[in-house]
Amino acid sequence: MAKTKSAYFCQNCGYESAKWLGKCPSCSQWNTFVEEVVEKSAPNVPAWKTSSGSQRSNKPSKVEHIESSTEKRILTGDQELDRVLGGGLVTGSVTLIGGEPGIGKSTLMLQLALNIQNKRILYISGEESEQQIKMRAERITLTPKADCYILTETSTQNIFKQIEQLEPHIVIVDSIQTLHSAHIESTPGSVSQVRECTAELLRFAKETDTPVFLIGHITKDGAIAGPKILEHMVDTVLQFEGDRHHIYRILRSIKNRFGAAAEMGIYAMNSSGLREVTNPSEILLSQRDEELSGIAISATLEGARPMLIETQALVSVAAYGTPQRSATGFDTRRMNMLLAVLEKRCGFRLSTRDVFLNLAGGIKVEDPAIDLAILAAIISSHEDIPISSKTCFAAEVGLSGEIRAVNRIEQRISEADKLGFDRIFVSKYNLKGLSQEKYKIEIMGVGKIEDVFSALFG
């Protein structure tokens, strides 16, 4: 019998060590080392072709002699997913989809498997039985356009055997944490197993040009479970997020070797699966007939797509000594900074007020262009004067109360214009080279917060 060999792995970053360490030398985390058995099979041939593994060695070639080829892309039939992937699924790519349990990762992938045209798809599930998947497929009620095969199996060696017979065009693995490779003895979900299974699937994808989707669990703090290197190994990392109690789900690209990162797609989860939301601005703006104070609309960009988002603020007298500050969908530290700017530069006495902030639709925004709308919503609530629902904002606010320019201003303005807004506040530094005649909307260039407030509240 082969001697079993074990090593210690950092559960946080995947660092390997021969002996136990208290502190990981790679990621500086304490107490993260766990012993795992690593027993490599003697000849190290690719697991998916144990009999005739090819060991090609490459020669260096000059850049100008390498033939350029545009990557081949498969359209998935899901416009949101295609856009997030950078214009379709690249052949031979490995895509990792992370997200909290119950958010809809399996639903998204099953829908893709049923919806894609004229392809043979293999959906491998280590989490659910065939019956459970069938029930979900019935719920989604899509007429399958593809040959979709379900395999409930967790051993990579068996999976590759089936793949060799079926020769699928796309492989989906639900989830990477349930797989195990016979080459390694530790339990499924451990660092070395996840790493080995991903490596085997990666080799398979690259050598056969088959795209592979991996579903990944995430940990309590929102990182994809398993070693950090998992994210380095794959080509694309997508995150599926949202509030489980809201119907909207957001698919965000965190890393993409074949397209822009920070792209996002929006879905609505209803009783028959996920539906694409193609006009996000319309759902993110609440329908209201009367003007209410504390609401301001921001023209933000997520990835390449402009979106108008409603920011809502509530400012009230603090009932207890320390005022409460809370924000949903927006960084609380940034909100505190904006409140400090208002106190210091504009003389609003907010230190005795509770301030609550909410972005409609359960969405999270990191675009700094939302700053001005947030300030306007706070002041509107504080003064109890509504802002016209036809006014929107797109500018960053600096520490001294200056209104700063933001990128891609034309795109933001045309989206607001298209949706029928009649006034947009932007930084005056954004006006250079902007032709106002193109738009029906009135463009207000402002330099200081005071200018905005005198224009809004007189």
Q: Which is nearer to ligand TYD, 104 or 227 (CB)?
A: 104
User: 246, 240 in Cβ contact below 8 A?
Assistant: no
Residues with Cβ within 8 Å of residue 212, at least 6 apart in sequence: 93, 94, 95, 170, 171, 172, 173, 201, 202, 204, 205
Residue 222 interface partner, choices Mg ion, ligand TYD, none, CB cut-off 5-8 Å depending on type: none
Q: Which of 73, 83, 105, 169 binds ligand TYD (CB under 6 A)?
A: 105
Q: Which is nearer to ligand TYD, 74 or 103 (CB)?
A: 103
Do 426 and 445 contact (CB within 8 A), yes or no?
Answer: yes
Q: Which one, 54 or 271, has the nearer CB to ligand TYD?
A: 271
- Interface with ligand TYD (CB under 6 A), residue from 194, 266, 269, 446: 269
CA distance to 17, 153, 182, 220, 238, per residue, from 192 (Å)? 12, 19, 12, 20, 22
Q: Which residue has the tokens 């693995």?
A: 173
**Region 285-324 residues binding ligand TYD, contact defined as CB under 6 A:** none
Question: Total residues contacting Mg ion (rule CB under 5 A)?
Answer: 1
Cβ-based nearer residue to ligand TYD, 134 or 232: 134
Q: Which residue is nearest to Mg ion (CB)?
A: 106
Q: How far is the CB of 317 from Mg ion (least distance, A)?
A: 46
CB of 383 to ligand TYD, least distance (A): 41
Q: Contacting ligand TYD (CB under 6 A), which of 31, 272, 286, 454?
A: 272
Mention every residue, 6+ apart, whose C-beta is less than 8 A from residue 54.
Answer: none
With 0-12 CB in 10 A as exposed, 13-18 as middle and 19+ as buried, what is 321?
Answer: exposed
Q: Which of 24, 74, 94, 103 binds ligand TYD (CB under 6 A)?
A: 103
Count of positions on this chain that bind ligand TYD (CB under 6 A): 15
Please state, in angstroms and rounded to a whole number, the distance separating the CA atoms of residues 261 and 84.
8
Taking the chain, what is the end-to-end CA distance rounded to the nearest angstrom?
86
**C-alpha distances out from residue 161 to 125, 129, 428, Å:** 15, 20, 64
Nearer to ligand TYD by Cβ, of 112 and 184: the residue is 112
The residues that bridge with 135 in the sheet, in sequence order, are none
Beta carbon of residue 76, minimum distance to ligand TYD (angstroms, whole number) = 17
Q: Which does 257 bind (CB under 5 to 8 A by kind): Mg ion, ligand TYD, none?
A: none
Q: Which of the ranges 102-110, 222-230, 259-267, 442-450 carries the binding residues for Mg ion, by CB under 5 A?
A: 102-110
**Per-residue burial over 197-210, b = 16 or more CB atoms within 10 Å of its CB, e = otherwise:** bbbbbbebbeebeb
Is the separation of the CB atoms in 355 and 363 below 8 Å?
no
| 173 vs 416 by CB, closer to Mg ion | 173
Residue 306's φ and ψ, nearest 5 degrees, are -75, 145
For the chain, how long is the longest CA-to-CA vector? 86
Please tell me what DSSP assigns to residue 12: T
Return the residue of 23, 40, 139, 145 that touches ligand TYD, per CB under 6 A.
139
What minimum distance in Å lies between the beta carbon of 273 and ligand TYD? 4
**Sign of CA pseudo-dihedral 16, 19, 20, 26:** negative
420 binds ligand TYD (CB under 6 A): no
Please list every residue from 164 through 223 that binds ligand TYD, using CB under 6 A.
Answer: none
Site string for Mg ion, 106-145 (x = CB under 5 A): x---------------------------------------
Site stretch for ligand TYD (CB under 6 A), options 105-113, 146-154, 391-399, 425-433: 105-113
The count of residues in the chain is 458
Distance CA 132, CA 110 (A): 12
Does 99 bind ligand TYD (CB under 6 A)? Our answer is: yes
203 makes contact, choosing from Mg ion, ligand TYD, none, with CB < 5 to 8 Å by partner type, with none
113 sits near ligand TYD (criterion: CB under 6 A):
no
136: partner contacted, choices ligand TYD, Mg ion, none (Cβ within 5-8 A by kind): ligand TYD
Nearer to ligand TYD, 47 or 103 (CB): 103
- 154 sits in which H/E element: none
Which residues of this protein are in contact with Mg ion, per CB under 5 A? Answer: 106
Which residues of this protein are in contact with ligand TYD, per CB under 6 A? Answer: 99, 101-107, 136, 139-140, 269, 271-273
